[in-house]
Amino acid sequence: MPNPVVAFFDVDGTLTYRDPVTGPTDAPRPRVVDAIRRFVGAGNVAAVCTGRSVLGITNLMASCPFAGAVTLDGTHVVYGKKVVYDRTIDRDVFARTVAEMHRIGMEALIEGTYGCALVYGDAEASDLRRAIPGAQTIEQYEAAGGRMDFGKIDFIDTSLAACRSSEFLMGSYHYMNVGGGYHELAIPGTSKGIGGRAFIDALPFRPSRVYAFGDSENDLAILDEADVAVVMGNAHDNVKEHADYVTDTAAEDGVATALEHFGLI
């Protein structure tokens, strides 16, 4: 019998989608859940590969039999219950990052495996305060004893001009436009592809084939790492250029469509 197939699944825009009325969903639709269960039931390995931290995929991990997760754009990787790869923003770089964001009036969500916090801009009517009510600022988070180990930075369109104006931020991080008005700053030298490779290296077997499913710029590295790159129908054209197969949109259960197309279920 051939060795198992391994498949990496992005979350937002791939396993789940942003409903125009109700907003983002936390778990896949029933057809997608059933498809992943059948894929794993056939002896294969499914892994989440997301920009979210583990704190943001609790419901997702409970909904499907995932063997592990590549999180925070590849900076934190878990196989089973074992951490097989972990990188965080250098403490000195991070301190200067927060100071720079305050200087230029930029707002951002700082994400880590053990906690997340906000950097507010100068505006009193903060977009992030409205989007994430009750979230701690980075100063509150640190004062409360939160672990200052962070893997990536998220922000929205209203802070894009400020970010681009900063030579320090644009030179210290890898910038990505992930679509839908969302943007990311990642640690240089990290990616979902590097995280995916760490996951594969931790497996007790060599996969017979590796599939990757994604829809945005932060998926390009894992799409290029895989033997077969599956891109969602809702992806931008620059991502579709990296596809071996373009499936239906996330709202149309494109993950299930692709698994069926390749005879994996």
Q: Print the SS3 string covering 111-134.
A: ECCCCEEEECCCCCCCHHHHHCCC
19 burial via Cβ count (<10 Å: 0-12, 13-18, 19+): exposed
Same domain for 47 and 123?
no
User: pTM to 2 decimals?
Assistant: 0.93
Same domain for 81 and 196?
yes
Digit-by-digit pLDDT tens for the chain (265 residues) are 689 999 999 999 999 987 766 666 778 999 999 999 999 999 999 999 999 999 999 999 999 999 999 999 999 999 999 999 999 999 999 999 999 999 999 999 999 999 999 998 665 546 666 666 667 899 999 999 999 999 999 999 999 999 999 999 999 999 999 988 899 999 999 999 999 999 999 999 999 999 999 999 999 999 999 999 999 999 999 999 999 999 999 999 999 999 999 999 9
Residue where one domain finishes, among candidates 154, 186, 218: 186
Taking the C-alpha atoms of residue 198 and residue 166, their distance in angstroms, rounded to an integer, is: 32
- What is the domain count for the chain? 2
Residue where one domain finishes, among candidates 152, 171, 186: 186
Q: Where are the alpha helices (DSSP H) in the chain?
A: 30-41, 58-63, 91-104, 127-131, 138-143, 160-164, 167-172, 192-202, 220-225, 237-240, 254-261
Residue 136 pLDDT:
87
CATH number at residue 131: 3.30.1240.10
Same domain for 104 and 67?
no
- Domain range spanning residue 182? 91-186
Phi-psi region at 13: left, alpha or beta (left = phi > 0; alpha = psi -120 to 50): left
Residue where one domain finishes, among candidates 167, 186, 205: 186
Same domain for 20 and 44?
yes
Residue 20 DSSP symbol:
T
Residue 127 pLDDT:
65
Taking the C-alpha atoms of residue 168 and residue 245, their distance in angstroms, rounded to an integer, is: 38
Same domain for 162 and 117?
yes
Same domain for 172 and 95?
yes
Hey, what amino acid is at 87?
R
Query: If you count them, how many residues does the chain have?
Result: 265
